[in-house]
Amino acid sequence: MAKNMHAKPFDEGTMVKLELFKLYFREWLPVFTKSKFYNQIEIYDFFAGEGTDIEGTYGSPLILLDEIKSHCADFKNNSTQVEVHFNDFSSKKISKLDINVNEKLLECSDENKYEFCQLNNGKTNCPFVIKSHNRDFQALFAAEFNRFKNAPMIPRFMLIDQYGVKYVTTDVFHQLTSLPKTDFIFFISSNHIRRFKEHPGFAAYLDSSKLDFSESRQIECHRVIYNYYKSLLNGKKYFLGQFSIKKNNNIHGVIFGSSHPLGLEKFLSAAWRIDPHTGETNYDIDEDHIRTGQLSMDLFETGAPDKIKKLAAFEDDLFNFLKTEQSNQSIYIFALEKGVSIPKTNEILSNLEKNNRLLFKGDERRKGAFYLKYDPEKKIIIQSK
């Protein structure tokens, strides 16, 4: 049986996970609430828990409500109906969550008046509804997926904070990636997979023949998991992101998915805010001495400052990519798929230009200015000299 993580203070790894989720959701929601094209939005937290830890620190359900509160005016102006689904298999947890949610909706103060805290016969005056479920994930997801297939263009966000590895199976992953307007984040115990992938029962969840940990260190195991899920796409145009989280001596991780590059851009923006060195961990995954404030022998042998290994490799890959002419759009996609944020890519491009290693054609632009964003009409062409 899974331990009740809500019965004690959230640990550092859990706080990192919650912060990543919050930062991403904060960017995701306005894409749809500020548009008049969507009259319905659905949000799912499939492993919602109680809503807080023992000290009252917000878990994912209350973080969701905290973010939603600032969009009530947009919901009304655009006639958008929002459904928020909270689920947990534990009846005790979902009952406790209902109490915490009701307290949250009633919370008002002179400094920060939530529009939806003004209750009218038990309902908020903000057009969203909360639906609580007390069901096994597989049963609920299977039932809801039939409805998802019949209405695939409804924007949906799904948080699947599973315990272990057994819920987001290969089949569930394929179902998630088949939905064109659904972004998802799921949590997975990567180190658990590394240790037990040869167990006879493991094949029920993932294809162990496609998981090769032989060339990786234990602290890199989530990268292997990420590449496994990428392989399941079989060349399908889809955008995945990842983030490794160290909790005590174990490595866990987050897998993100979106059918649109803008989704991955926003996820990477959140990830790089948490980890400004590599955008993918809460620990020193590549033993980058500069990350910990230490200097390696490279500085003394070559006189050159240390570089983050991931960024040095990306710069080389980017330069080679630019040996043939590339548009802003192609560079944008290239950077996202390498897991590098657009601001960091712009910074690298600027440095390459200052060193006279790039050649520009097309739209007039200010030297040192880059406009990488989702804009297929942009005509700037860049190549290496």
CATH code 1.10.10 region(s) in the chain: 291-384
Residues contacting 108, CB < 8 A, separation 6+: 114, 117, 118
pLDDT category of residue 311 using cuts at 50, 70 and 90: very high
Spatial distance between the Cα atoms of 52 and 50, rounded to a whole number of angstroms: 6
Residue 94 · residue 131 · CB < 8 Å: no
Overall average pLDDT of the 234-257 stretch: 94
pLDDT-based confidence at residue 165 (cuts at 50, 70, 90): confident
| Region for 56 from its dihedrals, namely left if φ exceeds 0, alpha if ψ lies in -120 to 50, beta otherwise | left
Q: What is the band of 302 on the pLDDT scale with cuts at 50, 70, 90?
A: very low
Average pLDDT over residues 370-379: 57
Cα 205 from Cα 225, distance rounded (Å):
13
Q: What 3-state DSSP class applies to 96? A: helix
pLDDT at residue 64 is higher than 90: yes
pLDDT per residue as tens digits for the range 192-213:
788 777 777 777 778 877 888 8
pLDDT at 103 over 90: no
Taking the CA atoms of 359, 362, 367 and 371 in sequence, report the sign of the dihedral they define. Answer: negative
pLDDT at 300 over 50: no
Q: Is the pLDDT of residue 374 over 80?
A: no
> Which pLDDT value is given to residue 382?
73
Q: Domain 5-274 maps to which CATH number in 3.10.450, 3.40.50, 3.40.1000, 3.30.70?
A: 3.40.50
Residue 102: per-residue pLDDT: 85
User: Is the whole model's pTM more than 0.85, yes or no?
Assistant: yes
Alpha-carbon span 69 to 64, nearest angstrom: 9
State the pLDDT confidence band at 215, using cuts at 50, 70 and 90.
confident
**Cβ atoms of residues 274 and 23 within 8 Å:** yes
* Cα–Cα distance for residue pair 194/207, rounded to 1 Å: 12
Q: Span 304-331, mean pLDDT?
A: 86
Tell me what pLDDT residue 362 has. 66
pLDDT at 1: 41
Amino acid at position 219, single letter: I
Mean pLDDT of 127-140: 92
Closest CA to 369 of 342, 341, 349: 349
Return mean pLDDT, the chain.
85
368 and 350 in contact (C-beta within 8 Å)?
yes
Euclidean distance between CA atoms 285 and 306, whole angstroms: 16
Question: Residue 44's Cα: distance from chain center in Å?
Answer: 14
| CA 227 – CA 230 distance, rounded (Å) | 5
Compute the distance between CA of residue 74 and CA of residue 77 in angstroms, rounded to an integer. Answer: 5
Query: Which residues of the chain are in CATH 3.40.50 domains?
Result: 5-274
* CATH class of the domain at 291-384: mainly alpha
Residue 121 confidence (pLDDT): 53
Query: 284: which strand partners?
Result: none
How buried is 169 (Cβ within 10 angstroms: 0-12 exposed, 13-18 middle, 19+ buried)? Answer: middle
What is the reported pLDDT for 73?
A: 85
Whole-number pLDDT of residue 291: 75
Closest CA to 269 of 346, 328, 209: 346
The residue type of 45 is D
DSSP per residue over 364-382, as a string? Answer: ---TT----SS-TT---EE
Share of the chain above pLDDT 90, in %: 55
Q: Could you tell me which of 332, 156, 326, 344 has the C-alpha nearest to residue 257?
A: 156
pLDDT at 338 over 90: yes
C-beta of residue 247 within 8 angstroms of C-beta of residue 254? no
- Note whether 85 and 42 are within 8 A (CB): yes
